[in-house]
Amino acid sequence: MAIEVVLDGETVPVDEAVFRLLLDNSVAGTYKGYENALGSHRIKFSDLVSLAEKGDIPYSLFFAPFALVQEQVKKKNEKLLAGLGKDTFSIGSRSKVELRDVELIVKDLIRKQHLVRKHDKSLQRNKIVGVLRDDGSSIDADAARLMSAIGLSHEAVRACKTKEKALDLMIDRLEANQVLVSRSVQHYMPQRLTHVKFSGMTIRDNKVPFIFLAGGDHGDDQEPAGRTIFTLALMTVLVARRIFAPMTWDGGSVQTDPGREYDIAGAMLMPCDRFKAIRPTSLDDMRIASDAFKVTASAVTVRAMRLGMINAETTSNYLAQLREEFRSRPKGGPRSPIHPENAVRKYNGRELSRRMLHALDNQSISPGEFCRAVCLNHLKPTQIDDLRRALG
């Protein structure tokens, strides 16, 4: 079968297998123009070029032999996956992340890892990557070791007045240890995430590994800040265990064994001794404990089940009630638009932004290149000082 490419009234055939292979392995495969072309087996040349640009594909490849295209796609994926595992790391979730769903973000964050390594010679080998190696140690020992490694205490987390403040504290401690943290900001990333549900990803580097926190609706009806804190703890465990992959997890899962990584994250945020002292058993207990531990009530409920304080049936009933409560909450009004400098800081992370500003001040990078490579042209050279102020 062929896809007919229409130009000036003439048609040129493109091998459908080539067409599918190129677009299925790029973000352009999510666009309506691709679906329409497959349905009609026709596409205007201008639309083909547009899809190629969206997918970062040289349009001439559409007219190349299948074997050549296959080799090019293989090389591209191998390069991308150098910093990312091939499989989605999933806990209690059936969702799977396709490479094309996140490939432009992966490419951008890997490029930024290379950029900061090139311009910042003060970087040391990362001490968090691989700090948890021995499955023979206990869950609690691993949690304590990781908390100590990043310099974060349970008392400091509990002292935060809000979950948002606790999240900021965790990010600050990770970035102080050269673990960069990027957060999803719609319209300020190189790729839309509106069509994919996943929690985030960890990207390999022996000096500056990246954690990317996805925003949006994860489908398990939990308040965002508490869920993001647990997600960040879970992805910190992945970095510490040298697991680099897109990650999905279901915060309302009651499956028998969500895995060692999940339990380590739970012990980091809800240490066993304190949790047993509080001993939450009622639904009200779960809500109160969630404020103390800065996580969701659902996370407290699952932790209580994992520690044998409540049974699976009670857990399922509590989680169902919590989901219903969340769904019935009044939805907030329209959000205020985010200022460009704040959006750039959030997506890049504070630490990468700070280090690259230092490189700019040392004239290791030009203002124009800084705006292009670091800010993706969302800031102009005249706005760089706005970013400095946003960093504090």
Domain ranges of the chain: 2-58, 86-109+128-174+219-328, 340-391
In this structure, the number of other CB atoms found within 10 A of the CB of residue 341 comes to 21
Amino acid 355: pLDDT: 97
Q: In DSSP terms, which residues pair with 43 in a beta bridge?
A: 5
CA–CA separation, 341 and 357 (whole Å): 13
Give the DSSP H/E element, type plus range, for residue 33. helix 32-40
10-residue averages of pLDDT along the chain (392 residues): 90 92 79 88 93 86 93 80 69 74 86 92 95 88 96 95 96 98 91 79 94 75 84 96 87 70 95 94 96 94 94 93 86 74 96 97 94 92 97 90
- DSSP result, 136-200: TS-HHHHHHHHHHHHT--HHHHHH-SSHHHHHHHHHHHHHHTT-EEEE--TTSSSS--TT----E
CA–CA separation, 170 and 175 (whole Å): 9
Q: Which residue, among 116, 185, 176, 112, has the nearest Cα to 347 in the 3D structure?
A: 185
Amino acid 289: pLDDT: 96
Amino acid 279: pLDDT: 93
Spatial contact of 253 and 91, defined as CB atoms under 8 Å apart: yes
Amino acid 326: pLDDT: 84
CA–CA separation, 192 and 170 (whole Å): 26
Q: In DSSP terms, which residues pair with 200 in a beta bridge?
A: 213, 247
What Cα–Cα distance (Å) separates residue 202 from each residue in 85, 115, 150, 237? 9, 18, 16, 10
In this structure, the number of other CB atoms found within 10 A of the CB of residue 40 comes to 10
Amino acid 193: pLDDT: 81
Spatial contact of 228 and 167, defined as CB atoms under 8 Å apart: yes
CA–CA separation, 192 and 103 (whole Å): 11
Amino acid 198: pLDDT: 83
**Radius of gyration of the chain measured on its C-alpha atoms:** 23
Spatial contact of 20 and 41, defined as CB atoms under 8 Å apart: no
Quote the tokens at residue 370: 């800084």
Amino acid 252: pLDDT: 66
- For residue 373, the 8-state DSSP code is I
Residue-wise burial string across 316-337, b where 16 or more C-beta atoms lie within 10 A, e elsewhere: eebbeebbeeeeeeeeeeeeee
Q: Which residue, among 349, 346, 340, 300, has the nearest Cα to 322 in the 3D structure?
A: 300
Q: Pairing relation of β-strands 180-183 and 42-44?
A: unpaired
Amino acid 221: pLDDT: 60
Q: Which residue, among 328, 266, 273, 260, has the nearest Cα to 301 in the 3D structure?
A: 266
Let me know how long the chain is. Answer: 392
